[in-house]
Structure formats: C-alpha cells, structure tokens
Amino acid sequence: MSAVEEVTSEAPAVEAVPKRAMTLGYGTSLVVLGLLIIAPMFLKNFFVFQMTMLLIYALAVLALNILTGGSGQFSLGQSAFYAVGAYTSAILMEHMGVNYALTLPIAGIICFGFGFLFGQPALRLSGIYLALATFALAVAMPQLLKLGFFEHWTGGVQGLVVTKPDAPFGLPISQDRWLYYFTLVIAIGIYIASVNLLRSRSGRAFMAIRDNEIAASAMGVDVALYKTLAFGVSAGITGVAGGLGAIAVQFVAPDGYTITLAISLFLGMVVGGVGWLPGSIVGSAFIIFVPNIAEHISKGLSGAVFGVLLFLVIFLVPHGARQVAIVAQQLIGKLKK
C-alpha cells in the first residue's frame, strides 16, 4: 500500500480505449442498462432491494474510483462520508420533514464541503500516511455519531428510523420498485457526470497529479486545489450514495458505518479495476453478493471462503474487471480480422 503514487500510474487514462473497440463498450453498456431497467419488473421485492443496494454501493465505489483512480489519493475513510450523507438525509427527513428527494442534493453538498475541508490537512500526506489519516476518520466516525452531545439529532446508539417513500403520482408500483428506479436515474446521472468530469480539464488535472505531481505543478496545475477538489467530489458522491442508502435501508445507526464498509468499498474498487468507472458496478456486485455466496457454501468458514474467492479473483485478474474488458476487446478485434 506504500507508494500509492505508483498505484495507478500503469492505469491508462479513461479515454485510452481504442476507437474501433468502442462499439463493444457501447454494446455492453446498452445491454447492462437494459437489464437494469427490465430485470426489477420480474423480481421479488427483496431482490429489487438488493439491486437498489447494488446501485448505491456502485455509486460509492465510483466515488472512491474518482479519488484513487483519478487523482491517485488513497482513502480508507469513505465510510465516514457515507455516514455523513446517510445521517444528513435521515435527520432532514425525520426531524424537519424535508422531501426525501430534496435531502440528497443537500447531503451531497454537505459531504462535498466536509471532504473538501478534510482534504486540506490531508494535502501534506501521501501513500500510507494518507491511508492512516483517512482510516482514523473512518474509525472515529461511529464514535462521534454516538456522542451524547448530538444525541437529540442522531438518536445516539439507537439510530434513526427512516420512512420509505411511496411512489408519486399514484403510480401502481411497489415502494421498493419505485425506489429502485429513482436510484437508477440518479446513478446514471452521476455516472455520466463523472465520466465527463474525468474527460474535462479538471479530470486531466487529476490524472496529471496522479501520474506525476511535480510535473503537473510545473505545467501550471494548482495541485493543492485539485487534490482537495478530488476529495470533495468523491465525498459528495459518497454522501448522495449514503443518503440513498439510508432511504433504502430505512434505518441509520452508527454501527452500520464502520471501517468494514470502507474496506468493502475498497475491495469493490480493486475488483472492478482501479480507475475504470464502469468497473464500479462489477465491484459493487462482488461486495454485495460474494459474502452471501460464501455464507451459502459454509456457515462456519464463510470468512475463509470469501478470502479464497477474493484470492482467486486477484490471481486470475490482478487488474480487476477492467482486465477482462480489455482482453475481450482484443479477442473481438482478432475475430474481426
């Protein structure tokens, strides 16, 4: 984990996919999108709930991907931003009666500010030291939420119960399905915005900092500004995911946002491929479904089975789902010849 500067340097920039192969990429994303739209119509409510969580975690993994894959800063503190987003939404809905949809942008903005401010002291740290600082944030967050001082708002150890919204305009679909489609629209919006962000001037500044900080500053990139900005954007997206998570789970409590969540998100990013945004959903599927599969295979040894499966994945594809995509593209390229 040291020298995180090297971490992503081998990861090509987002646009590095050759033009000829783009059709495959577009084709696959259309198929995935189609599945995401159609599948919930035929699934039971519980699976719809799981798919909602899949999208929500995919957003959180995407946020980490922008921070680590984009700007090369490592974070184990994403669970803290997720918690702040979740609590913002829950408190706004339950104490102030704000509409659930309106709480999300507020959660995003508050988390953006929080991440931006946290990015300031983190500027002096890199690699393993930054990992420790973010880790400290993740460890401290559940304890802070339990403090008696905030208890009136946060509900202390007990947490808060959140009411699940009904489908609007009298639409004849269940609450779970409505929430799923609501999440899907937000997730697609954020995904498109993120892809565009990484392709923009700011995105290139992120990647320049990731690849060589000194060279980037020599080229006139304001390193301090863009590094903290990356933290802010990442925290903001994680906050929106946290808010959605609070609405979907209908409950927030300090122990739901421990370091385990941050580690899961990190694993999701590695499995999906660091710096490859479409991989986020693959990574998210891994961290949601594989623990369940492991539990099915063996109750007592579920941890060991999970570990072995994780080892299998990183042995077979050390670069995550991105590697699978690249190999598939090359294969199809050969077939065409």
Partner 1 sequence: MELFINQVLAGIATGAIYACMALAVVMIYQAIDHLNFAQGEMAMFSTFIAWQLMQWGVPYWWAFLLTLAFSFAGGIAIERMLFKPLAKAPVLTNVAGFIALFAIVNSVAGLTWDFTIKQFPTPFGSSPFLGSQLISTHQAGMIGVTVGLLILLYLFFQFTRIGLAMRAAASLPESARLVGINTSWMIALGWGMASAIGAIAGILIAPVVFLEPNMMGGVLIYGFAAAVLGGLTSPLGAVVGGFLVGVFENLAGTYIPGVGNELKLPIALALIITVLVLKPAGLFGRPIVKRV
Tell me: does residue 293 bind partner 1 (CB under 8 A): no
Name which of residues 235 to 274 contact partner 1 (CB under 8 A): 263, 266-267, 269-271, 274
Tell me: does residue 68 bind partner 1 (CB under 8 A): yes
Could you tell me the smallest distance in angstroms from the CB atom of residue 157 to partner 1?
A: 10
Query: Can you tell me the distance from the alpha carbon of 66 to that of 265, in angstroms, rounded to the nearest whole number?
Result: 13
Tell me: does residue 318 bind partner 1 (CB under 8 A): yes
At CA 101, angle to CA 99 and CA 104, rounded to 5? 110
Task: Give me the 8-47 binding string for partner 1, x by CB under 8 A, dash otherwise.
Answer: x-xx------------------------------------
**Count residues contacting partner 1 (CB under 8 A)?**
52
Select from 51, 58, 67, 133 the one that contacts partner 1 (CB under 8 A): 133
Tell me: does residue 6 bind partner 1 (CB under 8 A): yes
Question: Looking at 120-128, 159-167, 178-186, 193-201, which segment touches partner 1 (CB under 8 A)?
Answer: 120-128
Select from 4, 66, 281, 288 the one that contacts partner 1 (CB under 8 A): 4
At CA 257, angle to CA 254 and CA 258, rounded to 5? 100
160 DSSP β-pair partners: 252
Select from 204, 235, 319, 325 the one that contacts partner 1 (CB under 8 A): 319
- Amino acid in position 222: D
Selection from 296, 290, 228 nearest residue 57 by Cα = 290
Tokens of 271: 């499995």
Selection from 311, 269, 280 nearest residue 4 by Cα = 269
To which H or E segment does residue 189 belong? helix 175-199
Are the CB atoms for 115 and 243 separated by under 8 Å?
no
Selection from 11, 1, 3 nearest residue 206 by Cα = 11
- Per CB under 8 A, residues contacting partner 1 are 1-4, 6-8, 10-11, 68, 74, 121, 124-126, 128-129, 131-133, 135-136, 139-140, 143-144, 146, 214-215, 263, 266-267, 269-271, 274, 300-308, 310-311, 314-315, 318-320
